[in-house]
Structure formats: C-alpha cells, structure tokens
Structure 1
C-alpha cells in the first residue's frame, strides 16, 4: 500500500500526544472527520522530499534534505530504534509553515504546475497540474490557519 501521510495543525507536542491517544495512534484523517484536528490527507506527499520541493519552489531556493526541518515528536524513544516501523509524528519547522502560508494565491497555479512534474510524483496517476493545484491549496490553507493560530504543522506517518 505504501506510506501514509496526514498533515495537521496543533498547538504543541503535548496536544499531538493527546491526539494520538484519542486516535489510538492515528490516522488523523478519518471518514466522518478528524477528532479535534484540522487535517489534510497527504496522499503520498512526504514532508522531506515531495513537500520540500514545493517549498523550495516557493522560496526560490535549491531543494535540500533539511529544508523542511522536521523533528520527531511522537512516540517518545523510537528515534533510536531502527526496527520501529511506525506510526510516528514529526513537526515541520516554522520556516516551512511560513513559506507555505506566504505563497500568494496568484502564484499557486505556477507552483502546482512545477510541482506536478517532479520525479517523485511521476509514479502516481493523479498528479496533473489541476489536481496538484487543489492539493497545494489544501496545504497552503492549513499553513495559513496554523500560522494565524500560532500552531505548528505536524505530519503523521505510517508504513
């Protein structure tokens, strides 16, 4: 099936731990709504590479593995365990959140067009520019709401 990604906003790492307890470790995006979370289904969009590429386009900087600046926040102690297979949650840097939040609406179509052609998305059938524009609007909206609320963006990941 692949790796699953749900992006959501939360006030802090403690709120994430409570959400993970309420969802029995996730997923965050569920049929009928999320329990107390403003969330976006990542549909194969990993934070480091695929989301990182659109952030690099938005910032007009070369993509780098540390651009998103994600950090493991849940569960405790799994960062040192090479056998742990998930799920886990990372927090994205404030820079990544703000880069997404600050994308002007008139730039979205061009960024979505560029994003739809990255190599990492070439294996998927639903990455036409129109589809990626819709996806980008979801991420930008989440980032704007997170910044307005003083929240961070988190990504739930499961193999």
Structure 2
C-alpha cells in the first residue's frame, strides 16, 4: 500500500496529541468511522519532497530539502526511539501554510500541470493535470482555512 499521509489543521500541538490518542487509523479514517472535518488524504504526497515541489513552483524558487520544514509533534519519544515505525505526526511550518494559502486561484491550473510532471510522481497513474488540480485545490483550501483561523497544518504519517 505504501506510506500514508493525512494532512489536517489544528490549533496547537496539544490538540493534535489529544486527537491522536482518540483516533485509530489517522485523521482521514479509512474504515467505518467519521473522518476529521477538515483533513486531506495525501495519497502519497509527502511533505518535504512532493508537497515541497508544488511549494517551490508556487514561490518560483528552486526546490531544496529544507523548503518545507517539519517538526515532530507526536508521539512523545518517537524521535529518540530509532526502532519506532510509526505512525507519527509532524507540524508543517507556517511558511509552508502561507505559501499554499497564498496561491491565487488563477495560477492553480498552471501549477497543477507543472506539479503533475515532477519526477517523484512519474510512477503514479493518477497524476494527470486535472487530478493534480483537484489535489492542489484541496491543499490550498486547507491552508487558507488554517491561516484564517490561526491554525497550523499537520501531517499524520504511517508506514
């Protein structure tokens, strides 16, 4: 199945920890439960690379490893446990949230077309420009709502 990525917004790290303690299967629950009200199923879009590529396109800067900064917020002790296999949650930087939220609607089609052609997506069959436009709209919408409410974007990751 591959690595799972669920993106969601929350007011702070403590709210994320509380959510994770009560959620089985991640924020975008995959079976027999209600998903979070405001979450995006990342479908293989990891924060630093694939999401980072569209952020770099939006900002018109070269992609680099540190462009999308992330910080581990859950679970406690996962960073020190070299054998821990997940799941875990990272917080994305406000710079990333703001870059996504700031993408104008009129740029989305062009950005999605360019994003659909990044090397890291070449092995997926679902990365046509129209599909990636839909994906981009989801991410931009989540980022705009997070920015408006003063919240951060988090990513739940499971191997």
**TM superposition score category, shorter chain reference:** over 0.9
Deviations 1:112-151 (A, max 9, x none): 0000000100111000000000000000000000000000
Question: SS where residue 79 of structure 2 aligns?
Answer: helix
Aligned to 1:139: 139
Aligned to 2:106: 106
**C-alpha separation in 2, matches of 1:44 and 1:150:** 27
Aligned to 1:96: 96
**C-alpha separation in 2, matches of 1:80 and 1:22:** 23
TM-score, with normalisation over the residues of structure 2? 0.96
Aligned to 1:34: 35
Number of equivalences = 157
**C-alpha separation in 1, matches of 2:105 and 2:77:** 40
Could you tell me which runs of 5 or more consecutive residues in structure 1 were left unpaired when the two chains were aligned.
Answer: none
Alpha-carbon deviation of 1:80?
A: 1.9
TM-score, with normalisation over the residues of structure 1? 0.96
**C-alpha separation in 1, matches of 2:73 and 2:149:** 20
**C-alpha separation in 1, matches of 2:128 and 2:35:** 27
2:84 is the counterpart of 1:115: no
Could you tell me which runs of 5 or more consecutive residues in structure 2 were left unpaired when the two chains were aligned.
Answer: none
Question: SS where residue 78 of structure 1 aligns?
Answer: coil
Alpha-carbon deviation of 1:33?
A: 3.1
**C-alpha separation in 2, matches of 1:22 and 1:38:** 16
Question: SS where residue 27 of structure 1 aligns?
Answer: coil
Deviations 1:79-133 (A, max 9, x none): 1222111000000000000000000000000000000000100111000000000
